Amino acid sequence: MAYMCFFFFFFFLFINISWSESAQMVPAIFVFGDSLADVGNNNHIKLSTLKANFPHNGIDFSGGKATGRFSNGKNSADFLAEKVGLQISSPYLSLTSISNKSSVFLSGVSFASGGAGILDGNSNPFGESISLNKQIEYYSTVYGDIVQNLGSVEAQKHLSKSLFAVVIGSNDLLGFFKSDSTLRAKSTPQQFVDMLVSTLKDQLKRIYNLGARKLVIVGVGAIGCCPAQRIQNKTGDCNEEANYWSLKYNEGVKTVVQGITSELKDISYSFFDTYGVVLDYIKNPATYGFTEIRAACCGLGNLNAKVPCLPISRYCSNRKEHIFWDFYHPTERASSMFVDTLFDGSQQYVHPINVKQLIAI
């Protein structure tokens, strides 16, 4: 009997180990971006007011506590990590003082920061967030640590199999199209979008030079349809100008990334058409189980978008039926659905290949 127990113990141990190894599809994910992917970096910026570490954020997260995610629960970065069999990424700024950070870096880390933009200062002039340029600087430190830990050859093998997710651009565009923007006096919308795309191109090349070979580029959504933009119209309709230039930005990014992969033959990518997916949800809400496509779940005022999600704000009970959690950000369910499509969706919304296909390369 003891022999049989011993046998079954090792049999199930072997099964569990095998399942664990097969479930982990990539060695690491490195996340760059804004509040759509921030897992708590802004919590560690002392002077920043751009935080979500208070109720009612996190009401559906494990333990029901706010973590710094701009969501009622998990965000897209969390769901992507889970999809590929990894633990949820740690925020980089939470690791600076720990002694064993090298082992954490090997499985990836998040640099994403609420309020971050492609351009330094434009989306956040008071330094309350980590710009994409600064995020890449932080990653260069992580890169050096990994090379020192593994050696240059093994480090490149490790990084070439890892995913590098970039979720950026929304804050730059929202800053340009907000009602009191001063940016319009400096450039036309076309000039501004061209500057964003050109700057992002250089930033992606910097990440490539630091070992990235598999990019997951998340396009901006239909930002004119977020509650904060809708309340600028008396009708509550989407801001079509903001949507138009969001679309133009995405087209520019796709062209740039295609050019990079033509120039640098050893890089591959997935581009997620967030814009198209969000509009599909808005136009066909019942198909996706949504009943509220205009108003934020958490906030105050018209469309719950006059006041952000604060402890004094009210919040909805039917959160799974809302696209928007607050006046800018999606609900946990919407984020989960985004990642389902990103991971193994068709070329209608993920091209030239989805993340599952990207991993297999």
pLDDT band at 10 (very low <50, low <70, confident <90, very high): very low
**133 lies in some domain:** yes
Give the CATH number of the domain where residue 138 resides.
Answer: 3.40.50
**13 lies in some domain:** no
**292 lies in some domain:** no
Contact 355, 344 (CB under 8 A): yes
Contact 217, 271 (CB under 8 A): yes
**Which neighbouring-strand residues pair with 269?**
215
Domain containing 102 equals 30-48+61-220+239-276+333-360
Give me the torsion for CA of 272, 34, 340, 356, rounded to 10°. 60
Q: How far is CA 177 from the centre of its chain?
A: 21
**309 lies in some domain:** no
Helices (H), the chain: 2-23, 76-83, 101-105, 132-150, 152-161, 170-177, 189-209, 227-230, 240-263, 274-283, 285-288, 332-344, 355-360
Q: Which residues are catalytic?
A: 35, 326, 329
Residues 6+ apart with CB under 8 A from 196: 118, 119, 169, 172, 173, 249, 252
**311 lies in some domain:** no
**132 lies in some domain:** yes
- Mean residue pLDDT of the chain comes to 92
At 215-232, the pLDDT tens digits run 999 999 999 999 999 999
Measured CA to CA, the distance from residue 336 to residue 82 in angstroms comes to: 10
**Which neighbouring-strand residues pair with 268?**
214
**296 lies in some domain:** no
At 303-341, the pLDDT tens digits run 999 999 999 999 999 999 999 999 999 999 999 999 999
Q: Considering its fold, how many domains does the chain have in total?
A: 1
**297 lies in some domain:** no
Query: pLDDT exceeding 70 applies to what percent of the chain?
Result: 92
- Is 202 in a helix, a strand, or coil? helix
